[in-house]
Structure 1
C-alpha cells in the first residue's frame, strides 16, 4: 500500500511539474509579446518604420503562419531548443502587431482587458484540469466554429459588410472557452501518453504552452474589443 501511494504521489508531482513548466513557458511568451509591444509603442520612429512598410507586414504574417505549421507538424521531431526559439519568435512577432493597440485603446482599458482575460483563462484552465468529462468533442466543435468565424470575418472584410463587434466577440469568447479547457485537458493526456520520455515531454511542454498562449491572446483581444466598443 505504501509503495502504491508513493508511486501515485510521484506521478502526481511529475504531472504538476510538467504543467507548471508549461504555464511558465506560456507566461514567458506573453511577457515577450507585451514587452515587445510596449517597446515599439514607446518609439515613434520605430512605429513609423514598421507601419509604413506593407511588405514587412506580409513577411510577418507569413513568418507567423510558418511557425504555426512548423510547431504543429514537426514538434515530435525537433529539438526542444528549436521549439523554444520558434515559440518566442512567434511571441515577438505578435508583439510587433500588438504595438498598434496602444494607439487604438487607452492603457487602462488594455490593463483591464488583460486582468479579465487572466481571470477568464484561469477559470477555464481549472475546469480543463479537474473535469473528468472527455472534452474532445467540445474541442472539435470549437475548432469548427473558429474556422467559421475566420471565414465570416474574411467575407465581411472582402465585401465591406458590417459586423457587430460585440456579438462577434462574445461568440469568440464562448469558442475559446471550449478550446482553452480542451487544450488543458489535452496537455494532461499528452503527458500520460509520453510519460518517461523527457525530450518528448520538453517538446510537448512548449507545444502546449504555444496552444495556451494562443488561447489567452485571443481571449484578451475579444475582451479588449468588447471594452473598447462599449467606451466608444
Structure 2
C-alpha cells in the first residue's frame, strides 16, 4: 500500500510538472507571436509613412487628392520590386521552416522577428488603401476572434487532427487562387477568396493551437529543452500566420477604403 501511494504521488508530481511546463510553453508561444505581430504592424506603419507625402514637388506619382508616392513608395508599389516585396514572406517562411532544425532556439527566434519585419514591408500598402480607423477596428475584431478560436482549440476534447488535411488543402487552394487573381483582378473572385479564407484561417487557428499543445505533451517526457524552444518558435510562427492572414481577409471584407 505504501509503495502504491509513493507511485501515485510521483505520478501526480510528474503530471503537475508537465502541466506547468505546458503553461510556460504556451506563454512563450503567445508571447513570441505577439512580439512578432507588433513588429509587423510597426514596420508596415513606419514604411507607409516613408512611402507617402503631401508634397507634390519631386513626387513620383499621385495616389489621392493630397497624397503622393515618394521615390521609395514608387519603387515598392509600382516598380518590378513590388513582386519581390509581395512574395518575399512566402519564400522566407518556406526557407525558415526548412532550416530551423539547423538553428539554435535563440537564432530561430531572431529569424522569426526578421521575418515579421519582412511581412510588415509586404503588407505596408494597407495603410495607403484602407483608413486608419478601419484598420484598428478590424485588428480588434481579429484579436477577439483569434482569442476565442485559440481558446477553443486549447480546451476542446474533440480531436481536430482529421480536419487538418482539409484545411491545408484549402490553404493551398487559397494561395493559388490569390496568385491567379493578381493577374485577373476579379472583384468577385477576391470576395470569394476572402470569405473562404476567413473560414480556413479560423479553422487553422483552432487546429494549430491544439497541435502545439498535443506536440508538447507528446515530447515533454524527453526533456529536450532546445527542441522544445524551437517548437515554441514554430508554434508562434503558425499562430502568427493564422492571425495575419485572418486579419488580411477580414480587412478585405470589412475595411473602409481611402
Per-residue CA distance 1:72-126 (angstroms, 9 max, x = gap) = 2222332112211221111101111222211111111001100000011111101
> Could you tell me which of 106, 112, 117 is aligned with 2:142?
117
The aligned counterpart of 2:16 is: 9
Q: Partners in 2 of 1:156 and 1:45 — Cα distance?
A: 26
Q: Equivalents in 2 of 1:50, 1:86: separation in Å?
A: 25
Which residue is 2:171 aligned to?
146
2-structure distance, mates of 1:104, 1:160: 16
Q: Does 1:137 align with 2:159?
A: no
SS at match of 2:102: coil
| More divergent stretch after superposition (103-112 vs 69-78) | 69-78
How large is the RMSD of aligned CA atoms in angstroms? 2.2
Asked whether the equivalents of residues 80 and 202 of structure 1 are also in contact (C-alpha less than 8 Å), the reply is: yes
Instruction: Name the counterpart of 2:39.
Output: 32
Moved more, 42-51 or 168-177: 42-51
Alignment gaps of 5+ in structure 2: 1-7, 54-68
TM-superposed CA distance for 1:48, in Å, is: 2.7
Q: Distance in 2 between matches of 1:50 and 1:216?
A: 28
| Alpha-carbon offset, residue 162 of structure 1 | 4.2
In structure 2, which of residues 241, 245, 248 is the aligned counterpart of residue 214 of structure 1? Answer: 241
Distance 1:104 1:45 in 2: 12
- The residue aligned with 1:200 is 227
Alignment partner of 1:21 is 2:28: yes
Give the Cα–Cα distance (whole angstroms) in 1 for the partners of residues 72 and 238 of structure 2. Answer: 27
TM-score (normalised: structure 1): 0.89
Residues in 2 aligned to 1:228 and 1:30: alpha-carbon distance in whole angstroms: 19
CA spacing shift, 1:127–1:108, aligned 2, 3 Å: same
Q: 1:62 to 1:161 in 2, by over 3 A?
A: closer
Report if aligned partners of 2:43, 2:121 keep a CA contact under 8 Å in 1: yes
- Farther-moved stretch of structure 1 (71-80 vs 32-41): 71-80
Matched-pair contact (CA < 8 Å) for 1:121–1:180: yes
Structure 1 position 186 matched with structure 2 position 211: yes
| Residue correspondences, number | 231
Q: Determine which of 73, 92, 102 is the counterpart of 1:67.
A: 92
Conserved? CA contact 2:181–2:189, under 8 Å: no
TM-score under structure 2 normalisation? 0.81
Q: Give the greater-gyration-radius structure (CA).
A: 2
CA contact (8 A) 1:128 1:181 kept: yes
